[in-house]
Amino acid sequence: MLERYIFRLGGLFRAYSACCPFGLWDAGLVVTGEMRSLTELYLPMAEIARALTRLLSLSLRYRSETGFILLATCASWLDFLRGVREASPVVNPSRFLELLAADEKYRTRFLFTLLLPRRHGESFHRYPAQIRFLDAWLDQRRDLPHRTIRCLDAACGTGETTYDLALLLRARCIPESRRILHGCSLEPLELLAAAHGFFPHDPVREKTFRMHRETLLVNGATGGIVFFQDDVCRPPRPGEQPYDIILCNGLLGGPFIHDERKIEAAFDSLTSRLRPGGILLAADRFHGGWKKAAPPEKLRESLRRRGFRLHPMEDGIAAERE
């Protein structure tokens, strides 16, 4: 099946190369609307996405919802190349697929580049205003130091914000025995990276991540952290223990959860997992296009309907369940 995709894409690329007036893609190319339209005419991203989806299904032992969504929302082949430029030395999608199919090391690098894209966040301290708010909120909750505090990073990605939260709890002298910190994601490769600092596509990031995590480990900040696969939109489970703090960054109102039905399902699920008096925090770095589809005020109104009290915060949403 993959061979048929390779053959068909080879023919499409030859036609594209013969008709393309602006030259082929290279790093640093500024993609215009005209380039995008012409590329889509001769080299439709939907055709390439089907081939890459097939490659994903052959390469992974699970169904990668992250990969399917990223491929489906990519505007053109030029935009795709810009997103995976570190893992794609060729412009021809047919040749690209041949290389991926033949070379395991090259394929691994591509899979991590695709499923752990830099735009999803690759740094610690990504949401400093959120951590400052939490620090002040914890200061007002006199009951928390005397019982176990349960925290959930509901869209943990590669875990940087989960570790930021762990550092905050450690700084507030909450002992390891009285803190539970869970990080969850739908994408198993993100969880692998979060738990083990494994970034085969980016050695510099891997080294920086592991050094930072080692510092936290030495200081006793990582105790109680568990990463696992979970769906933010799933219905509540009977007898599920509620959380005091839930973070849900870079997810609500973006490419993964933007239609009203999914947003409502996510809020229903998160509300059911948060104890009364608990806090839900959500921030993002989405561009204006996504914010038009799901304006922040619409998200806030959805939380108000569920009995949340909104707090002012510099970056994103802070909502306390009453």
The DSSP string of 163-177 is HHHHHHHHHTT--GG
Q: What is the spatial distance between Cα 16 and Cα 38, in angstroms, rounded to a whole number?
A: 9
| Per-residue pLDDT at 23 | 67
Q: What is the spatial distance between Cα 259 and Cα 268, in angstroms, rounded to a whole number?
A: 14
| Per-residue pLDDT at 189 | 96
- Cα–chain center distance at 178: 28
Count the Cβ atoms, other than its own, within 10 Å of residue 94. Answer: 19
Q: What is the spatial distance between Cα 282 and Cα 81, in angstroms, rounded to a whole number?
A: 30
The token pair at 46 is: 């939907």
| Per-residue pLDDT at 61 | 93
In order of start, what are the domains of the chain with their CATH numbers? Answer: 2-115 (no CATH), 128-321 (3.40.50.150)
Q: Which parts of the chain sit beneath pLDDT 50?
A: none
Q: Judge contact between 165 and 134, C-beta under 8 A.
A: yes
Q: Of 271, 284, 268, 278, nearest to 316 (Cα)?
A: 284
Phi, psi of 233 (to 5 degrees): -90, 0
Q: Of 169, 257, 269, nearest to 221 (Cα)?
A: 169
Q: What is the spatial distance between Cα 71 and Cα 190, in angstroms, rounded to a whole number?
A: 17
Q: At what angle do helices 93-102 and 104-115 cross, to 10 degrees?
A: 120
Q: Judge contact between 311 and 277, C-beta under 8 A.
A: no
SS3 274: strand
| Per-residue pLDDT at 174 | 86
| Per-residue pLDDT at 22 | 73
| Per-residue pLDDT at 141 | 84
SS3 184: strand
| Per-residue pLDDT at 86 | 64
| Per-residue pLDDT at 287 | 57
Q: Judge contact between 100 and 9, C-beta under 8 A.
A: no
| Per-residue pLDDT at 20 | 82
Q: Of 230, 236, 284, nearest to 258 (Cα)?
A: 284
The burial class, CB within 10 Å (0-12 / 13-18 / 19+), for 266 is buried
Q: What is the spatial distance between Cα 246 and Cα 225, in angstroms, rounded to a whole number?
A: 14
